[in-house]
Structure 1
């Protein structure tokens, strides 16, 4: 977080900056909050994280739901993006300056065949229900069940929750006068929507 903070600390530079963009190839996701706390008037964007070919759905799913969908959102990010939407079977296309030959798209398109890769399932947990205009709302952090909640423009509430423990977890979601008890197997995520 030191680099964006040092730039934003310069009043002359700050007036030309809308916000800071982050990737998570090193460091910790809570660095976004450090930048937000130093300059709450500037936006935070999470703009890239790759899934390496050939992909490992179980490992990539848990890691990216935890750090990106939940972690980036809980740490002030206005966006969460994976590496690429679509690539061919050779992980192309690339620019004329090169590119990542091991980075999977959310889908691989090979002729008429479409293969869904880990990023497809990761993003699907939020993108289908957390639509543009949604805002993050408060939710309690529970050990072994990281989560993030949103309110949509239509007034629905959305909770994305991940079970990071090695055993199934039973938990309760309470909102206003509504209560839902449910369970989640180890390593699984759920998206819960209610009005």
Structure 2
């Protein structure tokens, strides 16, 4: 039996470790069982403007090194990533792809702004990752002239047929424009956080309106344009199953267009009920919770808890938010947030933060197509298990205690006892 053990804790990160003799008085067991998810899609992050601005501070070699750590085969090997349609809350400034008022035919649609930040970011990642980088896109706000009131933040889509049809065409133009430059978008989610008025670009929807827009406007527009891009109902950030998944998917005409559901933030509380109600529908997590810019190990353990919750309840992908930012991660609207990696403008050097190691403990070993397995034992709520397509068995375990904890890991080829360091995160590969 071959066995590899990588551990991270506040005093050392990403260290190869050897087994220690088990203390019978401390021993707990952990074993993998049946599959929760049969075809895991992968891990990734979101491409945002401020991320590329931070990366641009590095020299070419250092920037490539960061991208290798995020997308390379020896790094996190991210393969499932997100981008905004127009401005996100981590854009340099607010914009959409068509601010020409009453341009219902979308004659002035343009992705020129994206050539400044987003497209170079995506292209740099693809040079490292390759063509198998899955991309899904979502708008934070429609063009302002399509909203009431006419502003990027707050407001709703003007609910008239001409506006809804034009907005569906806006999606189509976006996908075709990216296709024309060689970037295929695999899926769109209709609206980022559709139940929230925000200080940053946003647009409020109801589940009923999203249902009707998909059924009557977006789905038919995609069909007419012969697009292969999928439509997903997301990114839902509230835990009310009946208001969102229940409302959208209960309509048979809408459901035929919807290929999956995406959840983030408090939407995590609807994942389990959605999986129970629609066991064959793909579900993904779409945005990691963002912290406060302090990038602590304590918050890194919270991110572990988020991953454990989503994946143990059937999510088929997990997506980090800002992969790279400047220190403290200040947005253009004044919110500080965490990032996997920070780039200091003064020293033009990169720092790998605790959440980088959390993500790497999963993403560096779990391959697309893996099974997510049930775990049993006292550490089940602090662990995940995976079976890769090549048969490799992987455990990812955290020890939240301030003392060591010894665990026996069971597999179909044998068992091994390991002593986990205090406050550590561990990947163990059979």
Q: Give TM-score, length-normalised by structure 1.
A: 0.84
* Residues 143, 155 of structure 1: alpha-carbon distance in 2 compared, 3 angstrom cutoff: closer
Normalized per residue, the structure richer in helix is 2
Q: Equivalent of 1:6, from 214, 229, 247?
A: 247
Q: Equivalent of 1:169, from 381, 398, 405?
A: 405
Equivalent residue runs for 1:1-195 within 5 Å: 1-2=241-242, 3-24=244-265, 26=266, 29=268, 31-68=270-307, 70-89=308-327, 91=329, 101-111=335-345, 112-143=348-379, 146-194=382-430
Distance 1:20 1:35 in 2: 9
**What is the DSSP-based 3-state SS (H/G/I as helix, E as strand, rest coil) of the residue aligned with 2:329?**
coil
* Residues 91, 58 of structure 1: alpha-carbon distance in 2 compared, 3 angstrom cutoff: closer
Measured after TM superposition, the shift of residue 32 of structure 1 is 1.2
Measured after TM superposition, the shift of residue 172 of structure 1 is 0.6
Distance 1:172 1:188 in 2: 16
Q: Cα deviations across residues 128-183 of structure 1 (Å, max 9, x unaligned)? A: 11122222123214258621111112221111111234432211111114101112
Structure possessing the higher relative contact order (Cα contacts under 8 Å, 6 or more residues apart) = 2
Unaligned runs of 5+ in 1: none
Distance 1:147 1:100 in 2: 35
* Residues 144, 184 of structure 1: alpha-carbon distance in 2 compared, 3 angstrom cutoff: farther
Distance 2:355 2:339 in 1: 7
Structure with greater Cα Rg: 2
Q: Cα deviations across residues 52-73 of structure 1 (Å, max 9, x unaligned)? A: 24324221121111222x2211
Measured after TM superposition, the shift of residue 38 of structure 1 is 0.3
Asked whether the 8 Å contact 1:145–1:163 carries over to 2, the reply is: no
Q: Give TM-score, length-normalised by structure 2.
A: 0.40
Q: Cα deviations across residues 6-42 of structure 1 (Å, max 9, x unaligned)? A: 2112212111111111112x36x45312101101121
Asked whether the 8 Å contact 2:341–2:353 carries over to 1, the reply is: yes
**What is the DSSP-based 3-state SS (H/G/I as helix, E as strand, rest coil) of the residue aligned with 1:180?**
strand
**What is the DSSP-based 3-state SS (H/G/I as helix, E as strand, rest coil) of the residue aligned with 2:316?**
strand
- In the alignment of these two chains, the number of paired residues is 187
Distance 1:142 1:192 in 2: 17
**Aligned CA-pair RMSD:** 2.3
